[in-house]
Copies of this chain bind each other. A is one copy, B any other.
Amino acid sequence: MMIEDAALRLFAEQGYEATTVEQIAAEVEISTTTFFRYFPSKADVILCHQDANMPQLRAAIIAYPPGESDLTAVEHAIKQVWVPNADPLHSQRAGQAVAASVSLRGLYNEMSRNWLEGIAAALAERRGLREPDETAIITARVALGVFNEAVRAWGSKGYKAGVGTEVDRAFARLRQLSAEWAN
Contacts and interface: CB of A to CB of B under 8 A. Distances in A.
A178 interface: yes
Interface string A135-161: 101110110111011001100000000
Contacts of A71: 177, 180-181
Given A105-B109, A137-B152, 12 more contacts: A71-B180, A71-B181, A106-B109, A109-B109, A134-B149, A135-B173, A138-B177, A141-B148, A176-B182, A178-B179, A178-B182, A179-B183
Interface of A: 69, 71, 102-103, 105-107, 109-110, 112-113, 134-135, 137-139, 141-142, 144-146, 148-149, 152-153, 169-170, 172-183
20 contacts: A69-B181, A102-B106, A105-B109, A106-B107, A109-B110, A134-B149, A134-B153, A134-B169, A134-B173, A135-B173, A137-B152, A138-B145, A138-B146, A141-B142, A145-B145, A174-B181, A177-B178, A178-B181, A179-B182, A182-B182
